[in-house]
Amino acid sequence: MHCPKTNLDIMRCNELLTVAESLVDEHGVVSFRFAQMAKEASCSNHTLYKFFQSKEDVLVCLFLRNCTSNYMPLFLEQHPELTALERAAVPAVFSLVSVSRSQTFNILRVVSINSMFWQMASDEKVALLRERVNLFWSRVHLHIEQAQHSGALQASEAQVMELTQAIYFFMAGSLSSYESQLMESKYLTEKNPTYYRHLADLMNRYKWNEVATESKFEKLANKMELFFDKHYKPNKNCERCLKFHGYNDVRQLP
């Protein structure tokens, strides 16, 4: 299913996705009904199917308009003072702040990347999902690579890729573990301090020109909280999402 191109279609699609997000908040990912979207948005089924083939298409789009890759460029533009280490930590810390502020996004993040789920979406939505996931990976890799080139990080090319993988795997595993709520709290301890502490330990295995600490990442997260207060809702829309269509590497972005 194709994304909207005209202003009218973009407005309509935004309305449908806002309704869908409310339904997910109210009923959950499993229980919300695809057909209910048209009724709640006061539109015809024809309009609904113009943009979405299925419930899976809707959930992919909800993930796409909430995902961190849409917002990190804005945050980085506003904070040129960040050190190379802080920039390398941005994707991981940004993800924690994002899921902490939006339970729906946290659920969508887990569900949308499950192959049992996304394989049921339309081909175009699958292609967009692949692009956005790889865009995130490239963001992690780019900041570490930039740190290496600037001398802030002493690492081989293999170590740059190793650290890229380590940050992503740590982030995905940590956030999913806390989201599941299956483990007893004694095994996890308080989420944010635990997350920042382990991220700092991970960074400090490599030769940076500064020491990573829990407090540095807490301060970074505080900047992100202020950013989200001002810029999250105004940019949670199709217009912002469409800016990233066709890109799977941040080096390609205009």
- Rounded to the nearest integer, the mean pLDDT of the chain is 94
Same domain as 109, residue 234: yes
pLDDT in tens, 15-46: 999 999 999 989 888 888 898 999 999 999 99
- CA distances 58 to 1, 62, 80, 108, 243, Å, are 10, 6, 35, 11, 19
Residue 2 forms part of a structural domain? no
Both 32 and 74 in a single domain? no
The per-residue b/e assignment along 214-231, b for 16 or more CB within 10 angstroms, e otherwise, is: bebbeebbebbeebbeee
- CATH number at 17 reads 1.10.10.60
The phi and psi torsions of 154 (rounded to 5 degrees) equal -95, 110
- pLDDT score of 89: 99
| Domain hosting residue 46, numbered range | 7-60
pLDDT tens-place string over residues 96-110: 999 998 878 888 887
Indicate if 163 and 242 belong to the same structural domain: yes
For the chain, percent of residues with pLDDT exceeding 70: 99
Q: Is residue 213 part of a domain?
A: yes
Residues 47 and 98 in one domain: no
pLDDT tops 80 at residue 113: no
Q: Are residues 138 and 200 in the same domain?
A: yes
- Residue 206: pLDDT above 90? yes
Residue-wise pLDDT for 71-91, tens only, equals: 999 999 999 999 999 999 999
| Whether residue 54 is found in the same domain as residue 78 | no
Look up tokens 């912002």; give the residue.
240
pLDDT at 119: 87
Same-domain check for residues 47 and 125: no
